[in-house]
């Protein structure tokens, strides 16, 4: 599907799930290098930056968070950019929410003529990248909200459940960091290419893009550090609770052992058993067991084991 937007002499061609015919038409219409057509038609495993005589090519994987049931999942969505003097082409294989929202902004500006986007297509690319990183930042903020909710539940005594929740959050952060890590070199190279293709004055905008990337990258690292602290706290509380349970079970076993021994002694099939046969023999044995139990609990309290 091909959508074309124009404004003030600039053209944006947005293509989703492109066919070979659609890419071939774009290559002919905008005089693109054949290698760009090959790269647009098939997914690329690693980000790539190329400077051609009439355009700059960039391929990026964008981390996008979606909900699957009660847990979040980071999806990798590839976006290809072909930036010329007066045109920009974007291709993708799935809906990318920031670009979808940007299309409405682009249309509104072109209809109402409220403000100029810029003198060349490099400015459109600049605004697109800023929207993409802003969206990544919001996804990371949502992960931070989930971590805050998990923190509250940890101190409400739900440590066992939070083991799975924190593991899912950790997987999201790892996936996001792996995708963002591939941006570092690509953003630096595309900045140099844009300055050479347009003008050195465009460096202000490329530096701003780099700053946005570093911001979300640092945000991801900080969340990973916070997650590590939450995991350690959760594991410590869970271990403490398990130790308390084991201690109580051990004390119960220690209390019941002598009581079981007493009942076993008096149940021995012997010709003579003390107390057995006397008036109130049952009450006496039970009383001895109760006194012994109270003495043991008193000893445990004195030792501060309880």
* Cα three-residue angle 134-199-10, rounded to 5 degrees: 65
Q: Find the CATH number of the domain harbouring 136.
A: 3.30.460.20
pLDDT tens figures, 175-217: 999 999 989 889 999 889 998 988 888 889 999 999 999 999 9
Across 225-233, average pLDDT? 90
pLDDT tens figures, 152-161: 888 888 888 8
Q: Give the pLDDT score at 112.
A: 43
Distance in angstroms (rounded) separating the CA atoms of residues 49 and 90: 14
Token reading at 186: 């690509």
Q: Which of 5-14, 87-96, 273-282 has the lowest mean pLDDT?
A: 273-282
Tell me, yes or no, whether 250 and 111 share the same domain. no
Q: Find the CATH number of the domain harbouring 253.
A: 1.20.58
pTM over 0.85: no
Tell me, yes or no, whether 78 and 220 share the same domain. yes
Residue that finishes a domain, picked among 216, 240, 264: 240
Q: Give the pLDDT score at 41.
A: 81
User: How many CA atoms are closer than 13 Å to the CA of 74, on its beta-carbon side?
Assistant: 25
Q: Is the distance from CB of 67 to CB of 172 less than 8 angstroms?
A: no
Residue 137 has pLDDT above 90, yes or no: yes
> Is the C-alpha dihedral spanning 269, 272, 278, 284 positive or negative?
negative
Tell me, yes or no, whether 188 and 290 share the same domain. no
């Amino acid at each position: 599907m091909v959508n074309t937007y124009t404004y003030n002499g600039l053209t944006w061609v947005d293509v989703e799930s492109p066919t070979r015919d659609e890419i071939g038409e774009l290559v002919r219409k905008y005089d693109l290098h054949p290698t760009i057509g090959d790269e647009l038609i098939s997914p690329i495993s690693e980000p790539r930056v190329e400077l051609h005589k009439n355009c700059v090519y960039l391929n990026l994987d964008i981390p996008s968070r979606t909900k699957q049931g009660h847990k979040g999942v980071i999806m990798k969505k590839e976006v290809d950019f072909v930036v010329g003097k007066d045109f920009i082409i974007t291709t993708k294989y799935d809906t990318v929410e920031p670009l979808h929202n940007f299309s409405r902004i682009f249309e509104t500006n072109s209809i109402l003529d409220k403000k100029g986007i810029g003198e060349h297509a490099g400015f459109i690319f600049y605004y697109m990248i800023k929207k993409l990183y802003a969206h990544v930042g919001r996804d990371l903020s949502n992960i931070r909200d989930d971590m805050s909710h998990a923190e509250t539940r940890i101190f409400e005594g739900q440590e066992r459940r939070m083991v799975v929740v924190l593991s899912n959050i950790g997987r999201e952060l790892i996936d996001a960091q792996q995708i963002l890590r591939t941006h570092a070199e690509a953003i630096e190279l595309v900045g140099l290419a844009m300055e050479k293709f347009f003008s050195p004055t465009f460096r202000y905008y490329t530096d701003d893009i780099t700053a946005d990337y570093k911001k979300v990258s640092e945000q991801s690292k900080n969340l990973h550090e916070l997650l590590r602290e939450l995991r350690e706290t959760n594991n410590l509380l869970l271990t403490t609770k398990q130790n308390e349970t084991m201690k109580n079970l051990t004390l119960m076993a220690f209390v019941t052992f002598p009581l079981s021994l007493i009942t076993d002694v008096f149940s021995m099939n012997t010709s003579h058993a003390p107390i057995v046969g006397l008036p109130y023999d049952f009450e006496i044995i039970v009383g001895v067991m109760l006194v012994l139990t109270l003495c043991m609990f008193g000893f445990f309290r004195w030792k501060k084991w309880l």
